[in-house]
Amino acid sequence: MAIGKLRSFVIDVEDLEVGGAFWSEVTGIPRLSLPAIASGWTEHAYLGYQDEKTWKHEIILHRVPTAKRSDPGAVDVARRLDPAANRAHIDVTVEDIDAAIAQIERIGGRLKYPPTVYPVPHAYEGARPLIDWAVMQDPFGNEFCLVRGLAATEREALEVAAEQGPAADAHWRAVARAARYGD
């Protein structure tokens, strides 16, 4: 039994205008005009949907006075952990990870961890890749993942390639890409 249900995502940003434009473009969810009752609110912006009768937010942007602090030297490369990392994040489903990375970088985001398949073959006994993904950051350092489910043909090609032994992330992505596009 669930304790509750998801209401919305709240993202801390330092600038509501920049955050609104960024997250609206990433998700395709339009920015909302605040209802008259909330017009005095200056600490929040909303993305969602509205018509004459309904106003429903999906994402709340919360303006905070300080930047997220992170120590790049504290990253544990083996486990990809950063002590200042988000405790929650959004996964964004995309059709093409590389194209999405380029689009996000053009609008002010940045790549935190390069794309890879997950789980990586040979990462653990029986590891079978299911997704292609990358970790991004918005203009304020908030992390989010770009995710694309691997097609059955990609998964099968990766299983065959895995029989040859461990390899680098770029190799696994190339195998999946070749299977996806018939190269």
- Read off φ and ψ for residue 38, nearest 5 degrees: -105, 10
d(Cα 64, Cα 45) in Å, to the nearest integer? 12
User: Over the range 96-113, which residues count as b (16 or more CB within 10 Å of their CB) and which as e?
Assistant: ebeebbeebeeeebeebb
What's the pTM? 0.72
Please check the confidence at residue 41 and state whether its pLDDT lies above 90: no
Residue 127's closest CA among 150, 98, 93, 100? 150
Please check the confidence at residue 71 and state whether its pLDDT lies above 60: no
In which residue ranges of the chain is CATH 3.10.180 found? 85-181
Asked whether 136 and 104 are in contact (CB, 8 A), the reply is yes
Q: Which residue has the higher pLDDT, 50 or 48?
A: 48
Please check the confidence at residue 78 and state whether its pLDDT lies above 50: no
Fold exhibited by the domain 85-181: 2,3-Dihydroxybiphenyl 1,2-Dioxygenase; domain 1 (3.10.180)
pLDDT at 37: 41
Please check the confidence at residue 74 and state whether its pLDDT lies above 70: no
- Please give the average per-residue pLDDT across 6-33, as a whole number: 88
